[in-house]
Each structure stands twice: as C-alpha cells, then as structure tokens.
Amino acid sequence: MRVSSCLCQKYVAHALEKVRLEHVNYHIIQYVDDILLAAPSSGEVEILLADATKALTAANLVISKEKIQTTPPYKYLGTLVYDQEIRPQKIEIRRDSLNTLNDFQKLLGDINWLRPFLKISTGQLEHLYATLKGDAALTSPRTLSPKAEEELKVVEEAVSKARVYRIDPSLPLIASVLQTRYTPTGALHQDQHIIEWIHLANQQTKSLTSYLELIILLITQIRKRARQLTGIDPSTIHVPIAREQVQNLFAQSLPWQIAFADYTGQIDNHIPANKILQFVKLTPIIFPRMTSMHPLVDAVNVFTDASKHGRAGAVVQDSTMLLDTTYGSPQKAELAAVRSVLRDVVQACNIICDSLYVVNLVNSLETAKIKPVPDEELYLLFRTTQRVIWQRQNKFFITHIRSHTNLPGPLSEGNAKVDTLVASAFQDAVRSHSLLHQNAKSLKCQFDITKRQAQEIIQQCSSCAQFSSTPLPPGANPRGLKANQLWQMDVTQYAPFGRWKYVHVIIDTYSRVIWATAQAGEKVSHVIAHLLEAFAHLGIPSQIKTDNGTAYTSKRFAEFCKLWNINHKTGIPGNSTGQAIVERANRTLKNQIQKQKGEYLTIYEGDISKPKPIIPNKLLRIVLLTLNHFSIPEGLNATPMQTHFECHDTMDTVQQPWVFWRLPGDKDYRGPNRLITMGRGYACVSTDNGEIWTPSKHLKPWKGPLPDARGAEEQAHQSSTAPAARDQDEKQTSIAAVSSQLPDGQAQGTGIEGNTGECTHSEH
C-alpha cells in the first residue's frame, strides 16, 4: 500500500463496495486509507463500522483500533469535524521560512486548500499571488511586499475564525453569488450557516474576462459542487443582477443559457440578509456603466489612429492631440491614444478607431478581470485604461472604421485627417502610389513597409485592380550581361494618342530600362529620331534586335547602325516570340499609361471637367519616370535606372557552376563550361566562341573536380556524348542541382519563349 496511493484507493474501495450496496442511505467517504462513516444515529454508525471492519478484514486490510475515532471532534483530512461545524486544524504561518519560490508555492497551496473554509475573495490575495511571478527556479529568492504582508495577516485572521457547517438534510441548499473585488465569490449555505465558500481560480485562460463571464463561470462551478455534496442542484441561486437583465441574458447570452441548462430551481436577484454573506463591495460593476454599446446622440466624434513607429493621435472636432510613445506596436500606441481621449475628453463622446483589436478590448475593459500577461507594458496599459474608464463621469461609445477606403462622408474624412496627423511610412506609400502606381516590391523597398501592406495598397487601388500583373513566361530570349549590351526594339500603336499613336519602344534586356517616344509614323526617320533620344538618356548599345519591319531592314537604317557601330540583328520572319521581352514591355507600358492617365489629367492638366487633349510625350515621360525610377521588376533588387547606371547585380560576385549544355535540336552535350546566368527558362554559358544562350532545360551539372581552362577543353571532347546516356531521373535532378547554386531571385523554368534563331541584317 505504501508503494502506490492510487492502488490503495482502488483496493480499499473495492473492499467497501459490498458495504455501500447494503447501506445506501449512509455515507462512506474514503480517501486512500482514510475512511469517514456517517449515519443518522450512533447505533447505526456502530452497525456500519462493524460491517466495514468485517469487509476490510476479509480483504486482508487491518484497521488499527487506536486510530478509530468515535467521539467528536473527528480529525479527517486536515479538518476537525464537530457535531454541527467543521473547522480546519490549526495552521501556523511561519514568515521566517518564506524565502524562495518553493516556500511561497507551498504557502499558497495551503491557503488554496483552506479557501472553502475562508471568507476571503480572490481579489484580497492579489499581491500574495504576485509573489509567484518571475524566475521559475525553485530556489529563486522571494520576499513579502508590504501589501502581501497585509494580505497574509488577513489570511491568518480568517483562518482563526474559519468554520463551515455540516449539511442538514431537512433544509434546502441555497447558493449565492457575491459581488467581490475583481472576481465574484460563491457560497453554499443553509439558513444562516455557510456550508462551503466557492472561489474561482486566480487566473483565467483569457487575458480579459468580463465580470459577467466570471459570474457565469462561478454559477457553473457552484452547481457542480452542490451535486458533489448533495447529489442535487441548489434549490435557489441568488445572483447580483436585476430581474430585467436576467431576462435579457436568457434571451441573448448563450453562455448564460448553458450555465442554467436543466436547472429547475429559482433564480433570485436579492442576496439573503445574512451578515456572513456581506462583503465590502469594492467592485460594484457587473454591467458597463460608462461604456455604451450604441452610438451616443449629441456626443462629440473623436477619431484616433497610430503608426507602427509609436506615433499616436486623435482629432476632436477642430483640435488635434498628438502622442509620441515608445511603443513598437501600433495597437499599443492606439490604445494609449484612446486612453488619453477617455481621460481628457470629459464630455460624452463617440470614438472612431481603425483598430478592431483596440475597439473590442476597450468595449470589454470596464468590467473585465485583467489577467497578468508576460508583456508588462501591455498589462500596464490595460490597468491604467481601465482605471480611466472607472473615473469617467460621462458615457462613451467606441466603434471600428476601415482605414484607407476612400469612401465619401464625414467619417472617412475624419479618419483621413487623423491618418495624416500620424502620417507614417504607410500613408506616404499610399500617397506615392496614388500618383505613380508602383508595384508592391517597389513600395516595400522605398517606404520600408511590409510586403503585406504593399500588396494591400495595390489591391485597394481602383486603377491597378483592372490590370493583373503576371510574370513573363519561361523562355530563352538572349539577354544582355551588362547595360547597353543588347536592346530589343519595336513599334506598338496606342489609339488614344491620335496622330501620335505610333509608340516606339526600346528595352535594355539587362537592366530592363524602357524608353519610349510617340511618333507620327513608323518610317526609318521616326525610328532614327527615337533612337537618338534613347542614346541621349541611356547611352549607345552594342547590339539591337528588332523584327523584320521595313524600316528596320532598310539600307538607311543599316547605315545608321554602322555609323554608331551597332550590331543589328532581326528575328525569324513571322515569329514574334523572339521579341518576347519588348512585346511584354509594350504591354507594361500601355497598362501603366492607363493607370496614370487620370492623375496626369488632374495633376498636370488642371480641372478634368474641361476636356483637354492629352500630350502624348508628356504623359509618356511621367510613365517612364515610374517604370524606370520607382518600380523594381521581378528578379531585380533595384530600379531599372539604378541597375543600368550603377550595376546593381550580384552575378560577378557569385561563383557559378560548371555545366554541360546543348542547343535545341542537338542530341550531344558540350562542355563543361562555366554557367554565366540563369533565369525563367533561359541560361547563358561562357564558351571559347563567346556567350551561348540556350533553354535552361538543356543543362546538366558537371560533377567532377573543377576543371581549369586546359582541362575543360580536354574533358569537352571525352565527355561530349556521356551525358546523353544518363537516365531520365538524373535529367530531372540535374537542373535542381544547378539551380541550388544560383543567386537568390533566379528560378529555373522548363520552356522557351520562342525560337531564338536570328538573322544578321547588318554587322560591323
């Protein structure tokens, strides 16, 4: 039996099972090896004792006769049971032994065990419970604060007077919910006699639990304990809530309905006139008094907002309030702003706040029990805001408003005004996007906002919502390896430009800078005028690739390219996919024109109510400013202009792997050669004959030792056919092996944009 108390409990219970069945009207209470027998008369107790002793002896369980108690008081589980009352055995609290966390843990454990006997609410032990916070080491030092010392004296006094009464089966069991500080206290009683005090735990699962929620939890606990003691619910439950409010709770509150499910007794809102049940009402609030659940008539409107940098503010009619806090959270800063409003705006007010978290918190704060949280800064905010609400003399209403909706009306205007007051990087990003319509990546980098915030700005923009941006499909269009190495050029038409509808477009395939001019035609003279303007802004390219248009294949254009020492190449006739990069640039340019056309008319041309013609090249310059200076394309870490002139590229600093490669249509692989770059479906390798562009699916990694220049040539001939014999599984894993060694931001595709074959029109 000494080995396991659990086995002892089960073994003794099994031995007494037959006795329980024979004496169903008597009480047999057993805890491990302590047994309490109770019956209406002493004679019946003696019969019950004889039967129990016989059953235990038959089970080879010996009872020490000197431990049998037949006269009161009976000592049972730390209590003294008298004929009518029950008292805890005398407990002495030694302060000289309270030095560590372990000491205080044991002390509060003992106090909790005694609390059913004690008329002490949970709120009266607040500072004693606080001694358990801090270092988790059992030997960590703890001391009694002055307030904790006072609370310990209250406990000692309560223990000296502690007593509860035995249940009288002839009297009804009554339950009362008492309105005590921080948390309610329950009592099971009969007439003037307390049967047991019922207390809630010091900490609830939620950070904020309203007083009404605590009452509901206590009612559930009271009903459970009453059934444990008597097998039935209390005949009456007294609650400190008005009759009309009780009716409303039954109609509207699901937790209240669950707490009273299947209850057939009476619910009374008058606490019995019993001196023992009278507590000092330090928390008289059950339902909010100052917090209104409906907008207040003839109340002033107050708008609050905060930024993630701790700046908070409020707008009260024509006056403003600005706070520079140290909080790193916008929710904390906005709660501080609301606290200031509740303290300084003494008249009734309607608070409009764009933080749903703050609205829900403030709505429940007036009657809530605040659970200590690890974030002491937040806990202090909770407590101070609650005290400010308690001190108010006039009601307030707080509601949520969605920010940055651009809806008409005074509420949106007021919210926009306070947004401007605490203008943060987010508001700056919104204003910038409304003018330039940058992409999300650009907003994130330029204004140091989160990716999600940048995406929200794009999603809420009515102009950008019409144009979905999809990445360029995988392809093998050759690209430049430095600025001005390779341009692609094309002409597209944009009808709203009227006579100047021919938009000539150039894109640098390395930096992705776009240059465009609106021309009156697409003759060679227009092409040359376009190029000269591009030269002035971007420099002179080494190579230009175009389609086979008449202007591009003319003799005059060939002479122009020769004059500027430009290598001109054209794609295969009838195959536009070789110009995929500039074709995508055409689409990007037109979409951006559509996005910025409205801002161009309102900002640069004045009143939009008076129709004015669009000046094509003026609008184009604004669009090109956005695309080249304020947008970061996919795969780049800087704007196109920064990449073009400052060489924002990591390719030279990354050691690229050696690979085998082949061209489309070839069966045998060549190499190994050094991989220069790789992207969505394309790759470029360095060979003795220059750079070779090929689809990335035609690469295989070199798995041997790193070859030197001469070794690479020798290995090229020996290994030219070896990779072709490898199985399909190796083919699938080879590209992954190559891709793993590439810089961030580059991904390998599986297809090509089109035939990369080219025709030389004019070379130098």
3-state per-residue secondary structure call for 569-624: EEECCCCHHHHHHHHHHHHHHHHHHHHHHHHHHHHHCCCCCCCCCCCHHHHHHHHH
- Ranking 118-122, 522-526, 605-609 by mean pLDDT, the lowest is 605-609
Looking at the structure, tell me whether residues 622 and 688 fall in a common domain: no
Looking at the structure, tell me whether residues 369 and 308 fall in a common domain: yes
Higher pLDDT, 15 or 678: 15
Residue 13 counted as domain residue: yes
CB atoms within 10 A of CB 588: 21
Which residues are bridge partners to 444 per DSSP? none
Looking at the structure, tell me whether residues 523 and 610 fall in a common domain: yes
% of the chain at pLDDT higher than 70: 83
CB–CB of 457/440 below 8 Å? yes
Residue 118 counted as domain residue: yes
Looking at the structure, tell me whether residues 490 and 377 fall in a common domain: no
pLDDT of residue 401: 83
pLDDT of residue 747 exceeding 50, the answer is no
pLDDT of residue 240 exceeding 90, the answer is no
pLDDT of residue 701: 86
Higher pLDDT, 462 or 294: 294
Looking at the structure, tell me whether residues 603 and 515 fall in a common domain: yes
Higher pLDDT, 749 or 653: 653
Looking at the structure, tell me whether residues 356 and 328 fall in a common domain: yes
Average pLDDT over residues 648-676: 76
pLDDT of residue 423: 67
Residue 707 counted as domain residue: no
- Of 26, 52, 70, the position where a domain reaches its end is 70
How far from chain centre, in Å, is Cα 379? 19
Looking at the structure, tell me whether residues 121 and 173 fall in a common domain: yes
pLDDT of residue 572: 74
Looking at the structure, tell me whether residues 418 and 502 fall in a common domain: no
Higher pLDDT, 625 or 750: 625
Pairing assessment for the beta strands 396-400 and 349-353 based on DSSP bridges: parallel
pLDDT of residue 737 exceeding 90, the answer is no
pLDDT digits (tens, 9 = 90+) for 712-726: 444 444 444 333 333
Looking at the structure, tell me whether residues 44 and 162 fall in a common domain: no
pLDDT of residue 474: 55
Average pLDDT over residues 216-233: 92
pLDDT of residue 122 exceeding 60, the answer is yes
pLDDT of residue 419 exceeding 70, the answer is yes
Q: How far apart are CA 312 and CA 629, in angstroms?
A: 32
CATH number, domain containing residue 47: 3.30.70.270
- Of 645, 671, 686, the position where a domain reaches its end is 645
CB–CB of 173/195 below 8 Å? yes
pLDDT of residue 10 exceeding 70, the answer is yes
pLDDT of residue 280: 43
pLDDT of residue 388 exceeding 70, the answer is yes
pLDDT of residue 746 exceeding 60, the answer is no
Residue 742 counted as domain residue: no
Looking at the structure, tell me whether residues 358 and 216 fall in a common domain: no
pLDDT bracket for residue 657 (50, 70, 90): confident
CATH number, domain containing residue 591: 3.30.420.10
Classified as helix, coil or strand, 3 is: coil
pLDDT of residue 718: 42
Looking at the structure, tell me whether residues 62 and 108 fall in a common domain: no
Tell me the residue range of the domain where 259 lies.
Answer: 101-264
Residue 86 counted as domain residue: no
pLDDT digits (tens, 9 = 90+) for 568-582: 998 877 666 678 889
Residue 364 counted as domain residue: yes
pLDDT bracket for residue 650 (50, 70, 90): very low
Residue 604 CB partners (closer than 8 Å, separation 6+): 618, 622
Residue 749 counted as domain residue: no
Max CA distance (Å), the chain: 131
- Ranking 77-91, 464-478, 507-521, 617-631 by mean pLDDT, the lowest is 464-478
Query: How many domains, in total, are found in the chain?
Result: 6
pLDDT of residue 752 exceeding 80, the answer is no
Residue 351 counted as domain residue: yes
Higher pLDDT, 717 or 276: 276
- Of 438, 466, 494, the position where a domain reaches its end is 466
pLDDT of residue 654: 53
pLDDT of residue 755 exceeding 50, the answer is no
pLDDT of residue 562: 93
pLDDT of residue 727: 38
pLDDT of residue 11: 86
205 vs 201, 211, 214, 369, CA distance in Å? 10, 14, 11, 11
Looking at the structure, tell me whether residues 518 and 627 fall in a common domain: yes
